[in-house]
Amino acid sequence: MEKKFSRRQFLAIAGTAAAGSALVACAPAATQAPAEPTKAPEAPEAPKPTAPPADAVTINMWGWTDLTNSTLIDEFTKAKNITVKLSELGDAVFGDQKFLTAAAAGTGPDVAIQNRHTFMQFSAKKLYKDVTPLMGVDGIKVEDFTPVQIQETSWKGVVYGLPMFTDVRYMYWNKKQFSEVGLDPEKPPTTWAELEAATDKLNIKNDKGEYERYGFVPYGFGNSWMWLYGFINKAPAISDDKRTILCDDPKWVDALTWMVNFYDKYVGSFEMASSFGQAIQSSGIGDPFAAGKMSINASGDWEVANWMRKPELDWGVAPMPVSPGGEKSTWSCGWSVVIAPSSKQEKAAWELMKWHVLPEGFHARAEIAKADTLRVWEREKIQGEARYWPSLACYKPTLKMLEDDYVTLLPEREKNAWTLTIDALTNWTHGCGSEMGVAALEYWVEMDNAVKTALSKKGTPAEVMTAAKKKVQEATDRAWKAIDGQS
């Protein structure tokens, strides 16, 4: 994904006072993705690019104004003869308040980027334009998108935006450190019991009993969050009708209990791990996994791009280990592009939406990002041939283009990572927005607060999950009352 957020940034955006310490699903987990030619999901031929309008048009977009995205807009103007006034989106992980206010008042931009954490609740309020008819005209089908992501941009069978980027989460492990402690570097842990045993061997303490290296820390490092462990443990987050919050289910409590016990046995304490992470950050040595201070990391597919820049780091990637009775799972989130209901330039806005999703525009983005990657490798004097790992698209023809044009040029390890990524995205991921329902902000914040409270021993797993359920259910009921009232 192009925009990543740390836990601290997420919670700052959410406005919660409980800022955390250190950003878009049944068989036993495989040890590693198979070393074979990668295959993206079967995809139909992408729609042919439409002809640019005869007369020049100007539209407004609220998005990202960094070099990559502003250059992408320039390329769009050249290709489509449509001028775009690009304004900075700002904080929008939980729904851009500026956009929501403007859209409700009828003064919003023509096009905007929105995060899928809260897409469901805002589309339910009809703050995005129904693009289903536009898709029909251009032959863009719902089934041409990865299933979870198009579901998250829809409400009651109506599509309110096109999903652009997404992600998945899985396990990275340091093969060199596995060898150093007598673990098979080609066989990562596949169960929670094996993860515990590996962590015990990989942990290193100094003479004072302080951790110099962690084998694994479940929370606060990488990008796992409670959602990953709950889904692995087959815990239900919300009822099918999206009206009942289920985070007090015994499977959530069991998963959190395992995490608490894991900290007691292999981490020391939540506070100790937080201090460890803060010390690494303040020292300037970078990410704990990349710095060799952590042997196993639960994080997202975008880390492949980071680890490729560390030639000394011998890593592998595999599904996260599975709990007893659990299943191979991950979760995804990401960004979508929408048209404001008040837009008077529907045709031009639709062209800009497609540019951000279909192969033509996504290829332009990839070329811009690849050129920037090459500059980074040269500037940082990274050893070896520069490599580019593309952002994960949601439109199947675009995924196929990325695989053919970029992934096939990568070494076998990265190809294996892509195979695993596509498998997870297609077959065993959960969506952040669809799992949180119409009170996504409250659900995200309260789940994070519950985990930190339990790990800090200020409440039992059952107590904190019950308290989280109460608050999120109240927020969900309020949201549904407003939705039902406008029907």
Enumerate the domain spans of the chain.
Answer: 57-166+333-410, 168-331+429-473
Q: What is the mean pLDDT of the chain?
A: 88
Q: What is the pLDDT of residues 104-128, one digit of tens each?
A: 788 889 999 999 988 888 888 888 9
Q: Which residue has the higher pLDDT, 134 or 101?
A: 134
Q: How far apart are CA 321 and CA 171, in angstroms?
A: 8
Residue 457 neighbours by CB distance under 10 Å? 13
Superfamily of domain 57-166+333-410: Periplasmic binding protein-like II (3.40.190.10)
275-288: average pLDDT: 84
- The position carrying tokens 């409980």 is 18
pLDDT tens figures, 412-453: 999 999 999 999 999 999 999 899 999 998 999 999 999 999
List strand residue ranges (DSSP E) for 64-119, in order: 82-88, 111-115
The better pLDDT of the pair 70, 11 is held by: 70
Share of the chain above pLDDT 70, in %: 88
Residue 4 confidence class, pLDDT cut points 50, 70, 90? very low
Query: pLDDT-derived band of residue 38, with 50, 70 and 90 as boundaries?
Result: very low
What is the Cα–Cα distance from 354 to 124, expressed in whole angstroms?
Answer: 22
Mean pLDDT score, 318-333? 97
**Res 99: pLDDT:** 80
Checking if the pLDDT of 285 tops 50, the result is yes
Which residue, among 158, 92, 164, 171, has the nearest Cα to 329 in the 3D structure?
171
Judged against a pLDDT cut of 90, whether residue 313 lies above it is answered with yes
CATH code assigned to 168-331+429-473? 3.40.190.10
Residue 25 has pLDDT above 50, yes or no: no
Bridge partners, residue 298, by sequence: 171
Residue 353 has pLDDT above 70, yes or no: yes
Of 394, 26, 10, the C-alpha closest to 223 is 10
What confidence score (pLDDT) does residue 94 get? Answer: 63
The reported pTM is 0.88
Q: Is the pLDDT of residue 384 over 50?
A: yes
Residue 390 CA to residue 372 CA, distance in Å, equals 12
183 vs 24: CA distance, rounded Å: 33
Exposure string over 7-46, b if 16+ CB within 10 A, otherwise e: beebbebbebeeebbbbbbeeebeebbeeeebebbebeeb
Other beta carbons less than 10 A from residue 207's beta carbon:
5
- d(C-alpha 92, C-alpha 64), whole Å: 11
171-192 per-position pLDDT tens digit: 999 999 999 999 999 999 999 9
Q: How many helices (H) and strands (E) does the chain have?
A: 19, 16
Q: Is the pLDDT of residue 40 over 80?
A: no
Cα gap 350→129, rounded to integer Å: 11
pLDDT of 29 reads 29
Instruction: Say if residue 30's pLDDT is above 60.
Output: no
Does pLDDT of 374 surpass 60?
A: yes
Band (pLDDT 50/70/90 cuts) for residue 18 is very low
Q: Is 393 a residue whose pLDDT tops 70?
A: yes
User: First vs last Cα of the chain: how many Å apart?
Assistant: 35
Q: What percent of the chain has pLDDT over 90?
A: 76
Local confidence band at 17 (pLDDT 50, 70, 90 cut-offs)? very low
Q: Which residues neighbour 354 within 8 Å (Cβ) at sequence distance 6 or greater? A: 47, 50, 138, 140, 162, 361
Q: For residues 307-328, give the mean pLDDT.
A: 96
Q: Is the pLDDT of residue 36 over 50?
A: no
204: left (phi over 0), alpha (psi -120 to 50) or beta: beta
Q: Over the Cα atoms of the chain, what is R_g?
A: 22
Domains 57-166+333-410 and 168-331+429-473 share a fold: yes
Distance, CA of 46 to CA of 125 (rounded, Å): 31
- Residue 122: predicted pLDDT: 85
d(CA 198, CA 194): 6
Mean pLDDT in residue range 318-330: 98
CA dihedral 81, 83, 89, 92 (to 10 degrees): -30
Model confidence at 19: pLDDT above 80 = no
Give residue for tokens 């032959």: 139
Q: What residues are paired with 165 via a beta bridge?
A: 393
CB 162 within 8 A of CB 354: yes
- E strand residue ranges, 263-385: 296-300, 315-318, 330-332, 335-339
Given this model, what pLDDT does residue 126 score?
A: 87
Residue among 224, 197, 203 at smallest CA distance from 319: 224
**What is the reported pLDDT for 31?**
27
Strand ranges, E, within 93-133: 111-115
The pairing of beta strand 429-431 with beta strand 330-332: parallel
Instruction: Tell me the per-residue pLDDT of 147-165, one tens digit each, with 9 for 90 and over.
Output: 999 999 999 999 999 999 9
**How would you label 219-233 residue by residue, b for 16+ Cβ within 10 Å and e otherwise?**
bbbbbbbbbbbbbbb
pLDDT at 286: 75
Q: How far apart are CA 463 and CA 473, in angstroms?
A: 15
pLDDT-derived band at 47, boundaries 50, 70, 90: low
Confidence category of residue 21, pLDDT binned at 50, 70, 90: very low
| Residue 145 confidence (pLDDT) | 97
Over the stretch 233-262, which tens digit does the pLDDT of each residue have?
Answer: 999 999 999 999 999 999 999 999 999 999
Residue predicted with more confidence, 180 or 54: 180
Task: Please give the Cα distance from 306 to 317 (Å, whole number).
Answer: 13
Q: State the pLDDT at residue 45.
A: 64
